[in-house]
Structure 1
Amino acid sequence: MITPAMTPPVRTFAEFAPLVPELAVVFGAFALLMLDLFLDDRRRIVTQALAIATLLAAAALVAGGVGGHGVVMEGLFQRDTVSDVLKFSVLAVSAISMAYAWSYLRERDLYRGEIPVLMLFASVGMMLLVSAGNLAMVYLGLELLALCSYALVAIDRDSPLASEAGMKYFVLGSLASGLLLYGMSLVYGATGTLDLDGIRAAAGAVAGEDRTLLLTGLVFVVVGVAFKFGAAPFHMWLPDTYHGAPTPITIFIGSAPKLAAFGMAFRLFDGGLAPLQEYWQLLIAVLAALSLVIGNVVALAQTNLKRMLAYSTVSHVGFLFLGISGGGADGFAAAMFYAISYALMSAASFGAIVMLSRRGFEADRIEDFKGLNARHPWMAFLVMVTMASLAGVPPFLGFWAKVAVLRAAVEGDLMWLAIVGIVCAVIGAYYYLRVIKVMYFDEPVGEPVRPRGGPLRAVFAFNALALLGLGLFWSPVMAWCQQAFAG
């Protein structure tokens, strides 16, 4: 017999209104899943186009503030300005990533109807992650993103390289999830709550054995977050995964998830574990230094462009950690600005490989770009803009992103870390400028490279030129990020 006290609460639409963008993407994913049953391989571009339209429509809902801000589902989900900025960026970058996929995957007979569906569900996971108000929602969003990513990386079942990459990604990703979950369980054991606001209130008053338990949980949480970012020394999955996955999949997993990982770090550190800032700030600073040094030094020795970009990702995570370790509203705003900038730069850098590849030729070695300017000056210019932005050359977007996080580290009394960042930025410029040197000063070799045309060329041009345009007008983006943390 059900008593009145046992009656579940009645849910109204108003309570779910802040989830309208997430629900739009979920409904779009299920609709595409059903539609794909009635399409053959030649007409599957329809699902590709509709998936991109779904992401852009959800981005418009976020930008328009549809559903409004609020905390719903007993604190599991919170929508605020921070989450809106990150969601809009995640959806826009995911749409760009998906636009690179069609021609490359169709040419290699790899395009399947489940690819856009998996990307949509992964995007939902990222959206939930940046709006998490509870440790349970953090883990739900993270695993939804991770499970979709594992399947996408291993989508080419006939490729030993892709299968190996998918297996490594799955095993090490599962290990990272286990460490993070264990850390969350210790935090729960010390504070008695899964709610991030409750953890924040309880963490400052915890003492004795419970405080030891809480600090141990903090260490495991930091390690789990570092794994998901690909920070050194927990980066072992990243080079093989980036190298083995089909390049459009690498674009997706190497761009938007960094924004989601930043959102997770913000919710956990500034939200739940803020009273322990002196501890996690030091841990993040050490990880930043290791990532900067290891990522840049190892990238110098790479001849494969995808592996070079993978190790450079480790170094960029180090720069992003500069902002987080700086702490405070300005530090997190700088880190958010860097995450948005890097997501765009990463999509363009791997997009250059997609643009020059063809069936039987991946264009993933640095020597494949030799003499590109002599044959395709416009394409060489776009690649040059991308590499210069990654190197932090003014006035491109990457320069202002590096300045922002270095300033945040200095203001956070981490001068030693800022010095490490400056030295590593100089080291990192070498391997990016090496690609530019190869394009403009080396003689063309081998069969002429033919960049893709049509809509894909327009997508790549938009992506690359955005790095120049936003570099010239970076202030509104930075102000947007600062406004998100102003409250």
Structure 2
Amino acid sequence: MIDNISWLAIYPEIILLVMACVIALVDLGVHSPRRTATYVLTLLTLAVVAVLQGFYAASGQTFYGWGNMVVSDAMGNWLKCFASVAMMVTLVYARPYAADRDMLRGGELFTLSLFALLGMFIMISGNNFLMLYLGLELMTLASYALVALRRDNEVAVEAAMKYFVLGAIASGFLLYGMSMIYGATGSLDIGQVFRAINSGEIRHQVLVFGLVFVVAGLAFKMGAVPFHMWLPDVYQGAPTAVTLLIGGAPQLAAFAMTIRLLVDGLLPLAIDWQQMLAVLAIGSLLIGNLAAIGQSNLKRMLAYSTISQMGFVLLGLLSGVVNGNVDPATVENAYSSAMFYVITYVLTTLATFGVVLLLAREGFESEEISDLAGLNQRSPLYAGVMAICMFSMAGIPPLVGFYAKLAVLQSLVASGQSLYIALAVFAVVMSLIGAFYYLRVVKVMYFDAPITATSVSAPLDVRMVLSVNGALVLILGLVPGGLMSLCADAIVRALAS
């Protein structure tokens, strides 16, 4: 017997699934080359789902459904709300680009995006190993198809193949690790796994063996070193619209899945997985920043930038437990700073790729850093938005990226552990190195001679969304307290349940 709570927990997912199917059918009768009806219906669906998730999150309630396989809590609902908004913004930016490159012959861009978002929702809400894995597979299968959406483009098809092969290996890692933990604990339920491990009756070696594979699978999805090899190739090879789709909202789902698995389920093994995350963070910060310096391709540079940014997220995640002691204040501080970092990173990434997509509409891909030469002379607004994003990613005040980095570093220093303080110092040094390639983009836009004298034009919806997007990066840096409090409250409510 399925109770009303079970249905209540998945209403947004039901709406998303039904509307994805409806939009796929409606699109069969749409003959507009720009798929206007499909586009509008998709945005309306995402807006409704985002508002519904916002109401769920604002209520602050936590409830479980479908035999504890699904959880609806403040953290998950806020992340799903932000993921829906991120997908809306992505499609607004992507539509003109896709139309110019004959990617809208059908409505696949919109329907596959909705199915990818549904997979993210399941990842965020999953309270069971199988639910998490099914959500992950739904998201990645839709992403594989989206990367290969330009079927006549050899580079895109090659990127899709690399993504598929490496993604399958990573999924195998994750599934194997889950099976090892299931074999040791006898349960797929995350809460029961936590209680079984916490009892101390299970052999530690078996659990750690499974944990290694789980962390490896998660690291791949986040793009952490040494599981980053797919990221630069896929970012560069995929159509830029799809690159934004992969680099935006999915990071929120990957963060939520990491919290569900490592914190909700495997917290008694924190001493073990914190060491693994520390190695991943060091490698990501080092390789990401150093490799980005030598890149001339803008998308490839942003891929290595993503790797280094995920290093900061990992630093936030590893500082929650100190010497095996779970202090509520330390846990809240660490995980809320990581959540804040992920949300603000996605916000900045959306605006960055929005400008790249805007420039790419002039008949070339605008993938090289040199393609931005003299952008300030052609369009001061878009050059300003890009500069704000670059300064934010570099961690320069008063932009939101500075506060995000500061929050993570503060959580490391507050632990009082010499290792964590050393990691904080290392992260600061890597950020200084990383500032070089971000500031290089600004230098090219403002001080190099423009390649062309033509002005940059964009549809009204793109201009409005991009302007708001860029303004938020600045405003949230000036007044970050509201979003930081929201993250802290969401983390506290999620862990209390």
Q: When the two structures are superposed, what TM-score results if normalisation uses the length of structure 1?
A: 0.95
Superposed, 1:338-487 pairs within 5 Å as: 338-358=341-361, 360-412=363-415, 413=417, 414-446=420-452, 448=454, 450-487=456-493
Q: Distance in 2 between matches of 1:69 and 1:56?
A: 23
Provide the residue aligned with 1:276 in structure 2.
269
* Contact 2:33/2:99, CA 8 A, preserved across alignment: no
SS at match of 1:74: coil
1:57-97 superposed Cα distances (whole Å, 9 cap, x missing partner): 10100111299631011110001111111111111111111
* Contact 1:379/1:451, CA 8 A, preserved across alignment: no
User: Mean Cα displacement is larger for which, 456-465 or 194-203?
Assistant: 456-465
**CA shift at 1:359, angstroms?**
5.3
SS at match of 2:175: helix
* Contact 1:186/1:214, CA 8 A, preserved across alignment: yes
Provide the residue aligned with 1:6 in structure 2.
none
Superposed, 1:83-482 pairs within 5 Å as: 83-111=76-104, 112-207=106-201, 210-327=203-320, 328-358=331-361, 360-412=363-415, 413=417, 414-446=420-452, 448=454, 450-482=456-488
Q: Distance in 2 between matches of 1:14 and 1:362?
A: 48
1:402-451 superposed Cα distances (whole Å, 9 cap, x missing partner): 11111122233311111111001111111111111111111122463524
Q: Distance in 2 between matches of 1:203 and 1:59?
A: 36
**CA shift at 1:467, angstroms?**
0.4
* Contact 1:284/1:321, CA 8 A, preserved across alignment: yes
Query: 1:45 corresponds to which letter in structure 2?
Result: T
* Contact 2:72/2:125, CA 8 A, preserved across alignment: yes
Q: Distance in 1 between matches of 2:375 and 2:222?
A: 33
**CA shift at 1:291, angstroms?**
0.2
* Contact 1:326/1:411, CA 8 A, preserved across alignment: no
Q: Distance in 1 between matches of 2:423 and 2:445?
A: 34
1:69 aligned to 62, 69, 93, which one? 62
Provide the residue aligned with 2:326 in structure 1.
none
Q: Distance in 2 between matches of 1:289 and 1:377?
A: 37
**CA shift at 1:360, angstroms?**
3.3
Q: Distance in 2 between matches of 1:426 and 1:456?
A: 33
Q: Distance in 2 between matches of 1:156 and 1:448?
A: 27
Provide the residue aligned with 2:47 in structure 1.
56
SS at match of 2:56: coil
In structure 2, do the counterparts of structure 1 residues 435 and 344 end up closer, same or farther at CA, with 3 Å as the change threshold?
same
* Contact 1:190/1:211, CA 8 A, preserved across alignment: no
User: Mean Cα displacement is larger for which, 443-452 or 301-310?
Assistant: 443-452
Q: How many residues align?
A: 477
Query: 1:64 corresponds to which letter in structure 2?
Result: F
Query: 2:312 corresponds to which letter in structure 1?
Result: F
* Contact 1:104/1:248, CA 8 A, preserved across alignment: yes
Provide the residue aligned with 1:18 in structure 2.
9
Aligned-residue CA RMSD (Å): 1.4
Q: Distance in 1 between matches of 2:62 and 2:29?
A: 38
Q: State the 4+ residue runs in structure 1 displaced beyond 6 angstroms.
A: none
**CA shift at 1:375, angstroms?**
2.1
Provide the residue aligned with 2:33 in structure 1.
42
Q: Distance in 2 between matches of 1:43 and 1:259?
A: 29
**CA shift at 1:142, angstroms?**
0.6
Provide the residue aligned with 1:3 in structure 2.
none
Q: Distance in 1 between matches of 2:414 and 2:191?
A: 27
Q: When the two structures are superposed, what TM-score results if normalisation uses the length of structure 2?
A: 0.94
SS at match of 2:204: helix
Q: Distance in 2 between matches of 1:130 and 1:323?
A: 19
Q: Distance in 2 between matches of 1:54 and 1:336?
A: 25
Query: 1:456 corresponds to which letter in structure 2?
Result: V
1:145-179 superposed Cα distances (whole Å, 9 cap, x missing partner): 11111111110111111001000000000100000
Percent identity reads 44
Query: 2:152 corresponds to which letter in structure 1?
Result: D
SS at match of 1:64: helix
Query: 1:55 corresponds to which letter in structure 2?
Result: L
SS at match of 1:50: helix
Query: 1:366 corresponds to which letter in structure 2?
Result: I
Q: Distance in 1 between matches of 2:281 and 2:457?
A: 37
* Contact 2:75/2:491, CA 8 A, preserved across alignment: yes
In structure 2, do the counterparts of structure 1 residues 371 and 247 end up closer, same or farther at CA, with 3 Å as the change threshold?
same
Q: Distance in 2 between matches of 1:123 and 1:431?
A: 32
* Contact 1:296/1:315, CA 8 A, preserved across alignment: yes
Q: Distance in 2 between matches of 1:21 and 1:199?
A: 27
Q: Distance in 2 between matches of 1:305 and 1:475?
A: 32
* Contact 2:348/2:392, CA 8 A, preserved across alignment: yes
Structure 1: gaps of 5 or more residues: 1-9
Q: Distance in 2 between matches of 1:444 and 1:342?
A: 29
Q: Distance in 2 between matches of 1:55 and 1:124?
A: 11
1:82 aligns with 2:87: no
SS at match of 1:78: strand
* Contact 2:103/2:109, CA 8 A, preserved across alignment: no
1:300-336 superposed Cα distances (whole Å, 9 cap, x missing partner): 0001100000010000000111100111221111100
* Contact 1:191/1:206, CA 8 A, preserved across alignment: no
